[in-house]
Amino acid sequence: MKFKFILTFSLFIFILPSCDKSIAPEILATVGSREVTSYDFSESYSKRLVNSQLKDSEIEREKHLQFLIRNKLFSEAALRDKLELDSIAHRYIQLDSIKYIRDELYYEMILNHEIDMNDEIMRKHYLWANRECHFKHLFFNNKERADSVFLLLAADSSLFDSIAFQTFSDERLKKSGGDLGWIRYNDLDPNLELKGFDLDLDLISAPIRSSFGWHILKKIDERNQMITDESEFQTIKNGIKKTIIRKMNQIQSDQFV
């Protein structure tokens, strides 16, 4: 399999949503028929930082790029050999690789109109796309630890900040009680978004599984943009459908970790 690496590149890890001008993403690596673009990198890397305890560094950026390239290699080989998901699992290919294969399948299903989407669900996501939420969170590597902490918080929710101080190694998260700041639609792992964006203010969620581990969310505040234009929803309806299916696809994949 032929692939090439582009060794030198520059990109912004966080893309400002306010930028109106569309810029074609830079191709960082080509793996067979697939490409790793600067958009792939920035979107997945920023979510990884938000949803875990990693600190940004040149080493972490390089590791993440290699991670993306490896996944593209696995998905290219699996699709080429027409492997089924179960056989891939038995060959110990990581779930992250399976996600890329499922992405290919989901795009094919969309093109063939094999997936129907409830209008109510699409409208909910349209509302979320016009909402920002202020969250605090706790992160755990395993469900057992997350469950035990949730029981403590269920008995006394005021322990949230002190548990965050003990949980995180990052100084900012330790001192802020796990504060994530204001989060927009598409910023979080899909399952965190699904459970968190409709969470009532000041309530603490049960443990939520993500691609990175287990989280407990607390919604501090939310702000919503006024929506009055039905025509806008109708215009972007198909795009919303594709976004929801992609998110559902990832949530389903994560259940097998």
> Is the model's pTM score more than 0.85?
no
- Which of 85, 115, 145 delimits the end of a domain? 115
| Measured CA angle at 113 (ends 111, 117), to 5 deg | 120
Concatenated DSSP letters of 192-239: HHHHHTTPPTT-BPPPEE-SSSEEEEEEEEEEE-----HHHHHHHHHH
pLDDT > 70? residue 92: no
Indicate whether 17 belongs to any domain.
yes
Concatenated DSSP letters of 149-191: HHHHHHH-GGGHHHHHHHH--SHHHHHHTSEEEEEETTSS-HH
Domain that holds residue 23: 3-115
Give the model's pLDDT for residue 246: 81
Are 46 and 130 part of one and the same domain? no
- Tell me the mean pLDDT in the region 164-188: 92
Residues 4-63 pLDDT 10s: 333 333 333 333 343 444 445 577 666 555 666 776 677 777 766 766 666 677 777 777
Question: What is the rounded distance in angstroms from the CA atom of residue 61 to the CA atom of residue 51?
Answer: 16
Residues 211-238 pLDDT 10s: 888 999 999 999 998 776 788 888 888 8
Domains of the chain: total: 2
- Tell me the mean pLDDT in the region 111-135: 81
CATH code for the domain in which residue 217 is found? 3.10.50.40
Are 161 and 189 part of one and the same domain? yes
- Which of 115, 132, 157 delimits the end of a domain? 115
Indicate whether 126 belongs to any domain.
yes
Are 125 and 200 part of one and the same domain? yes
Are 14 and 111 part of one and the same domain? yes
Are 93 and 181 part of one and the same domain? no
| pLDDT interval class at 199 (50, 70, 90) | very high
Are 125 and 168 part of one and the same domain? yes
